[in-house]
Chains A and B, each alone.
Chain A
């Protein structure tokens, strides 16, 4: 149990670094990239994930410019999902730059999950005005627990052999079908320029955590995240998570949030104020402000 907890904490920290990395760089840069955004999408590899079965969310951004990094990209808040891993790939070519971020997640409850859009802040190269781009949002319908893969019968060995054989047939058939489709597509495309190369994205296999994510668990993760990446971008991101936790929406101010009944407790009020300081204080005060936010998180978790 202790090992699992340690693993989970390490995983959360690693994931947090990956998740907030791009935004953190943006905060440090304090400048916006000049980009021409062709497309900006958020997709899932399944529309109906199952409880406790990992799946992937993919943020894809195509810009005209050739860049080596995408700054100021803010991933959607995944408060109702457990984050398992994150992988980023960036490919530049004659068609511009294709950025793809794959987030491995798992749901622990069935029902509908609404995921907000990813956001990108950049200067539009066409009219030189700062803009905030938003991808589409997603609504996932999480089904109940996964069906058992193997039906254990009387003769286990025979059943296992039969299953392995059937699985091999299915895999072989799928590979053949994919190869035929790829060949046909290439012939039809003729002399058209190939799409920009995209590095294959294979999220690291990560062990699943069997526990449900309570708000306190999320804040525990947030504390690990903030300690691993003590930047303004992380503070802003965690501020957003905590605000949603107390039912606040985008566009409210701290005064509005403090009037909510969910923010009535002293530890929560202290946490909200500490995160506000971390989000808006000057650079020289940022480290103490983040230390204060970590302390406030600790006190809230312990309360």
Chain B
């Protein structure tokens, strides 16, 4: 029997989801890195479908939590209830106990609820009353945010954003892709492919991704990419009005060392997705925007000068020559 490869999952997801290769790749990278993803995009762009398809392909458990302003931490992690027949407290685990958890519109819940989720993401365990419960392995949180509607939302604190391995911007499909969507979904719902790989496969792939070779030159490249976010004075960006600005004027703080680790993990995982056991400069450069996007603190001038965050990040990445 031929060993299953991560690329098999990519192919399976591509059969269910039309377009959105960035989202599919991000989900698989998060899976291989044992990290979590923040997906930002308007509603209706197959974010939920992608997460559901991934869970189905892995034969893993999938849970969706719709974040609302009245949500409580116990609604996520679980609670203890008194069982009158047994005359004892029993633990009821929350929806976070799943392999793939979709935290829909995470910024709609107050900070207390966000903290409960993000703590679980970091520690990979949950404490309910006197008992500590380990979360399943793999455990991947796919959180979504809607950029169009900011009323009644609670911005994620910087320290909590940093816990996401990557942030991916989900864009609209092309015309051709939308035609395919019409053909595929207009008549009947497409059922996602099931059991393409097992959870044991994922654990084996993670070990393989960890062993992917990252050359010394690439390590230095990664360090330089993160360092430039803190020393952005020497990088210039063109504003919407055509003015040349120093990127440093748009940034309050740069990326943390967690970004360095994230870049290395993601580059290794991307190499494995491409069936390589060594990473290339292309791997680092391709994942750099996703790893840096939510870790750089842009200030108000970014908006007033009409510069998009991604344009500023592209300028920072372009300022460091690849090895």
Contacts and interface: CB of A to CB of B under 8 A. Distances in A.
Interface of A: 30, 130, 250-255, 276-277, 279-282, 285
In order of increasing CB-CB distance, the 8 nearest A-B pairs are A251-B321, A282-B213, A281-B278, A253-B281, A253-B282, A253-B322, A280-B215, A255-B282
B282 A277 contact: no
Interface stretch (B4-12, B44-52, B216-224, B304-312): B216-224
Interface string B267-286: 00000000001111110011
Given A251-B322, A280-B278, 12 more contacts: A250-B321, A251-B321, A252-B322, A253-B280, A253-B281, A253-B322, A254-B281, A255-B282, A280-B215, A285-B213, A285-B277, A285-B278
A255 B287 CA distance: 14
A282 B215 CA distance: 7
A251 B221 CA distance: 11
Interface of B: 213, 215-218, 220, 277-282, 285-286, 320-322
Contacts of B322: 251-253
A253 B220 CA distance: 15
12 contacts: A251-B320, A251-B321, A255-B282, A255-B285, A255-B286, A276-B280, A279-B217, A280-B278, A280-B279, A280-B280, A281-B213, A281-B278
Given A130-B220, A253-B322, A282-B213, A277 B285 contact: no
A130 B227 CA distance: 14
A276 B217 CA distance: 13
A254 B280 CA distance: 8
A255 B283 CA distance: 10
A130 B223 CA distance: 12
B285 A253 contact: yes
B209 to A, nearest CB: 14
A30 B215 CA distance: 10
Contacts of A252: 322
B277 A282 contact: yes
A277 B282 CA distance: 12
A244 to B, nearest CB: 14
Contacts of B216: 30
Most buried by A among B215, B279, B280: B280
A297 B88 CA distance: 76
A130 B323 CA distance: 15
A122 to B, nearest CB: 13
